[in-house]
Structure 1
Amino acid sequence: TKVESKPQTANHTVVGDLSEQIKAATQETHVRAENTDLMTSFQKGQITRTQYKVLLCSLYEIYTALEEALDRNSSHPAVAPIYFPQELDRTEALERDLEFFLGSQWRSKVIVPAATHRYAQRLREIGKVKPELLVAHAYTRYLGDLSGGQVLGKLAQKAMELEGKDGLAFFSFPGVSSANRFKQLYRSRMNSIELSEEQRREVLQEAVDAFNFNIQVFDDLQKMLSVTSESAEKPKGTSRSTPFPPPSSVQLTVGLCVGLLTVGIGLYNF
């Protein structure tokens, strides 16, 4: 089911570079994210392993759906120019991180909220019926990761007291020697895609929707961890076991901001 959102793209022109149009169309969402306490909280390095593991589970489902759709449509005229699996794919990196945090049986421990399922379903849907809309999701996710990845990786490493890079593969792009040069190449390739006026409007709206999906995932993760925390306070034997020990109420709010910042910090630097 496609997420409902205001037609924020209606007042934007459909001429010019697609990358700049997406940036303009999603500006309002950026402002909303910038005006929260989440950015400041994460920059203080307040994230726990519990929160990070739950986030990784959702990211894994999202990127699996996105990359399967991109692979399936790799020769599509709107996808081929921005198809960089060796440089950008995150699925294998997330698998390594999940194995590090959850163990060899991590697949049986993956838990995601309803919003994550909706996000992944949307990616699969457009992959089948409107592959050109994948451009909006690939651009907002990958370029956000490239822009904010280094900062987020260091903050997460320090907050969780991790030694080396184990558990942080998601933030590493070994196939990209220069993030700035690669982003320039990516924008150039994306701007070369030929779209009708209607298709371009749909891509811009899909970019806005991509942010809304991420915000909904964040909200659902917060609710899910709140329930986990409340269950842990009940007498023994009243709740099912979970691979994620409960975070404190204070850590809960400040840590989950990484879900937004994965697309947030990076996007501000597009």
Structure 2
Amino acid sequence: MDSTKSKAAENTGSDLSEQIKAVTKDSHVRAENTQLMLSYQKGQITQTQYKLLLCSLYEIYRALEEELDRNADHPAVQPIYFPQELARLEALGQDLEHFFGPQWRKRITVPAATHRYAQRLREIGKSSPELLVAHAYTRYLGDLSGGQVLGKITQKSLGLTGNKGILFFSFPGVTSANRFKQLYRSRMNSIEFTEQKRQEALDEAVRAFEFNIDVFDDLQKMLSITEEASSDKGNEAASQSLSKTFSSSPALQFALGVGITLATVGMGVYAF
């Protein structure tokens, strides 16, 4: 982390939650203002786009929650371990089944950036479980903060009824989002970190945002390729080139097959 971010953390006091907000401020703004996230907030999302969103979120949360479960007794994880209130994997599975059917596990595909994100979560789950705190905080509190808003946007944009297909945005175990976030921050701030480990946790929080921005960029590349394909159907050479590109990438095959025009992976509205 650069000196500017280090100073930002120092100027916010000793609370880890406030320090994370300070050091991730720039990445936070960048992530909020990607074309994909802005489009989502404007309600410009199709069912195809949303289905890819769910696929990526499932892969990310599967890695995060499996590692949290495995390290539930770790002194840095135990204080912020709230599976009944926060776990998203089951809800995501139900949403995917709604759109893809009973065999949804055989049909989902995610971009390479999502796999890298999940790989990092599994890596630190094995070697440095205390760093899971940074990822859990940025993901869960972001989704909890923006869940109601994004859920309504998705429901209206896709013409969904009830909670079918949007269970991811619902937190039935949390009666008051504001009170729960206060409790979560308090628990996280109580974790005892050495100065070195605290710095590593702050760096990891920045990395969490960067992983998400990488996912946005990966999906944007998929968009660009499909737009090029649709505007150049008569060019045989371009078609053959695209065919070779897509045959080498399962994620791009998925994009072409379903006709992706835009996709996004959200972290709520980033309001912690």
TM-score (norm 1): 0.86
1:68 partner letter: E
Question: In the aligned structure 2, how far is the partner of 1:7 from the partner of 1:105?
Answer: 50
Structure 1 SS opposite 2:267: helix
Question: In the aligned structure 2, how far is the partner of 1:96 from the partner of 1:223?
Answer: 28
Pick from 246, 253, 267 the counterpart of residue 263 of structure 1.
Answer: 267
Question: In the aligned structure 1, how far is the partner of 2:215 from the partner of 2:84?
Answer: 27
Residue-pair matches, total: 255
Distance 1:70 1:167, change over 3 A: same
Q: Name 2:259's counterpart in structure 1.
A: 246
1:45 partner letter: G
* Displacement of 1:39: 5.0
Could you list the runs of 4 or more consecutive aligned residues of structure 1 that deviate by over 4 angstroms after TM superposition? 5-8, 34-40, 228-244
Q: Name 2:10's counterpart in structure 1.
A: 13
* Displacement of 1:35: 4.7
1:101 partner letter: F
Q: Name 2:187's counterpart in structure 1.
A: 189
TM-score (norm 2): 0.85
Question: In the aligned structure 2, how far is the partner of 1:104 from the partner of 1:231?
Answer: 32
Structure 2 SS opposite 1:74: coil
Distance 1:6 1:264, change over 3 A: farther
Unaligned runs of 5+ in 2: 248-252
* Displacement of 1:234: 4.9
Q: Please list, as runs of the form range in 1=range in 2, the aligned pairs for 1:108-257 lying within 5 A after superposition.
A: 108-228=106-226, 230=228, 234=233, 242=254, 245-248=258-261, 252=262, 256=263
* Displacement of 1:89: 0.5
Q: Which has the larger share of helix? A: 2
Structure 1 SS opposite 2:110: coil
Structure 2 SS opposite 1:110: coil
Question: In the aligned structure 1, how far is the partner of 2:224 from the partner of 2:167?
Answer: 27
1:10 partner letter: S
Question: In the aligned structure 1, how far is the partner of 2:23 from the partner of 2:139?
Answer: 16
Identity in percent: 66
Pick from 89, 96, 99 the counterpart of residue 97 of structure 2.
Answer: 99
TM-superposition CA deviations, 1:82-115 (whole Å, max 9, x none): 0000110011111001111111111111111111
Question: In the aligned structure 2, how far is the partner of 1:222 from the partner of 1:52?
Answer: 14
* Contact map agreement 1:30 1:264 (CA 8 A) in 2: no
* Contact map agreement 1:123 1:134 (CA 8 A) in 2: yes
1:17 partner letter: D
* Displacement of 1:219: 1.1
* Displacement of 1:224: 2.7
Unaligned runs of 5+ in 1: none
Does 1:27 find its partner at 2:40? no
* Contact map agreement 2:150 2:268 (CA 8 A) in 1: no
TM-superposition CA deviations, 1:118-150 (whole Å, max 9, x none): 100000000000000000000000000000000
